[in-house]
Every structure is written in C-alpha cells, then in structure tokens.
Amino acid sequence: MHPGPIQRLITTPDAAYRPIGNNGTRFWLHTTLNAPNGRVILIDLTHPEREHWQAVLPESTSKLDSASIIHRQLIANYLTDARSEVKLFSEEGNESS
C-alpha cells in the first residue's frame, strides 16, 4: 500500500501544536491556539480548513500539561495548584467516570 501525498495541516506559526494521535483521517492535536492554558482540537483530513477544526477539550483554568490517546480514550494531564490531575475522556471529549 502506497501512502498518499503529505498534507500540510498547519501553515501559520501562530501557536504550539503537538500531535496526540489519529484514527484514519481524524487527527487530535494539543494546541495553545486561542488557549494559553492549552486545549485539544480535532482536524479531519476530509475537511482540514480551520473553520472545520473542532474543540474536543476546551481550555480550562488549569494548564493542560499533556494529552495522549490510548485505547480510543483521551488522557489529559492537567497542572492544578502545583499538582498533576489526570482525567479520562472519550475521543469526542466526553469525560469518563
């Protein structure tokens, strides 16, 4: 199987962008775009234009220190009052109990 052409998603250096993971054409990124404390966005390669980017985890009052996807769950590590707080979410951003 031959991979498709490389598709540039971020063309403007206006914030930090860190890839978290993907599922097919859907890519999750940890970014500081319009969110100094960080947030998670979803970019679907079928509609990669900025107006189609979706906020999955919005910015919170706590700093989003890191995020990853494991077994189709988003794991968010927040820095709250000088301590780490880990929260689990679905890929759509719904908090797990």
For residues 22 and 63, give the distance between their C-alpha atoms in angstroms, rounded to a whole number: 23
Query: Is 71 among the domain residues?
Result: yes
Query: What's the pLDDT score for residue 67?
Result: 96
**Coil, strand, or helix at residue 52?**
helix
Beta strand pairing call for 63-70 and 54-57:
unpaired
Q: Model's pTM, two decimal places?
A: 0.89
Residue 39 scores a pLDDT above 70: yes
Our count of domains for the chain comes to 1
Counts of helices then strands in the chain (DSSP H, E)? 0, 7
Q: Which residues span the domain enclosing 32?
A: 24-90
Query: Is 81 among the domain residues?
Result: yes
Q: How far is CA 32 from CA 10, 17, 18, 63, 96, in A?
A: 13, 7, 9, 10, 24
Query: What's the pLDDT score for residue 5?
Result: 79
Residue 19 scores a pLDDT above 90: yes
Query: Is 70 among the domain residues?
Result: yes
User: Average pLDDT for residues 32-53, to the nearest whole number?
Assistant: 96
Confidence at 1, pLDDT banded by 50, 70, 90: low
